[in-house]
Structure 1
Amino acid sequence: MENVVLIIHLILALCLVGIVLLQRSEGGGLGMGGGGGGDGVMSGRQAATALAKITWVLAAAFLVTSMTLTVLAARQSAESSVIDQIGGSSSASAPAAPAQGPGSVPTNSLPSAKDLLPPSSAIGGSGGNGGTASPDTPATPKRAN
């Protein structure tokens, strides 16, 4: 339903833009608009009146589809929230933390030293210490002579 209203809304918007651009403005606008004469089916005044009526109808339909889309979106958002879409609230799904003293940090949440250092191949692999770079001793880069 929402997609159908949205497509109608977009078509109305494009038609409204086209009709407004076809109209002759007071200042000359695009230079279009019928030059007088009785050769056409409608004279200049009748064409302006017809285009104005079409503009009013398209504008009214555009406003109706805008309000319909707003109501549909509000109804859809009232059924669920962003937290429901994520997967539940964090307080309801997370297990309770174990009781610890004030100021203590759980040890399982701290990263180890291995996690903080890059792999030995990124440090220099076969640098100055025969390819056995340990996390405690930095690798010495080779110098080009």
Structure 2
Amino acid sequence: MQSVLIVIHILIVVALIAVVLLQRSEGGALGTGGGTGSFMTGRGQANALSRATAILGAMFFATALLMSILSSWSRAPHSILDKGGAPAPAGQTAPTPISPGNILDQLKQMEGHSSAPSAPPPAPAAPAPAAPAAPQPKP
């Protein structure tokens, strides 16, 4: 059903483009200028083309709405909360859930879980050497 509707929609689009391009514009563009031997007079041509544009435009909107309605029928409702997260790699365990609260509290709690109790604290860094004095300008 959807493929048939898409084909009809494309045919309507092509026809709408052709009808719009055939219309006379202020600058003359692609519209037929009328003259002797033309199929329709200028006034009759404008009425027929404007009417065809209105009908094709309405058909375009109708098929577009129908396609969106049909696509929503096949979509099943779902919740992102029902889906689980990405599975953990084979060698790793899933992280433990963190209690709600401030982000800083959560980071501190994660840091407390990740540090091993047997690891010694890191040694303080040696003080940085003092910067050399700037040379004095000569007078």
* TM-score (normalizing by structure 2): 0.55
Q: Is the 8 A contact 2:34 2:40 kept in 1?
A: no
CA distance in 1, matches of 2:11, 2:38: 28
1:1-145 paired onto structure 2 within 5 Å = 1-30=1-30, 32-37=31-36, 39-77=37-75, 79-81=76-78, 89-90=83-84, 102-103=113-114
Offset, 1:21: 0.5
Q: Is the 8 A contact 2:15 2:56 kept in 1?
A: yes
1:33 to 1:41, Cα distance in 2 relative to 1, 3 A: closer
Offset, 1:44: 1.5
Q: What SS class does the counterpart of residue 24 from structure 2 fall into?
A: coil
1:36 to 1:21, Cα distance in 2 relative to 1, 3 A: same
Q: Percent identity?
A: 38
CA distance in 2, matches of 1:69, 1:33: 35
User: What is the number of equivalent residue pairs in this alignment?
Assistant: 96
Q: What SS class does the counterpart of residue 36 from structure 1 fall into?
A: coil
* TM-score (normalizing by structure 1): 0.53
CA distance in 2, matches of 1:60, 1:17: 14
Moved over 4 A (4+): 80-83, 96-99
- For residue 48 of structure 1, what is the amino acid of its counterpart? A
Higher helix share: 1
5+ residue gaps in structure 2? 97-111, 117-139
Q: What CA RMSD, in Å, does the superposition of the two structures yield over aligned residues?
A: 3.3
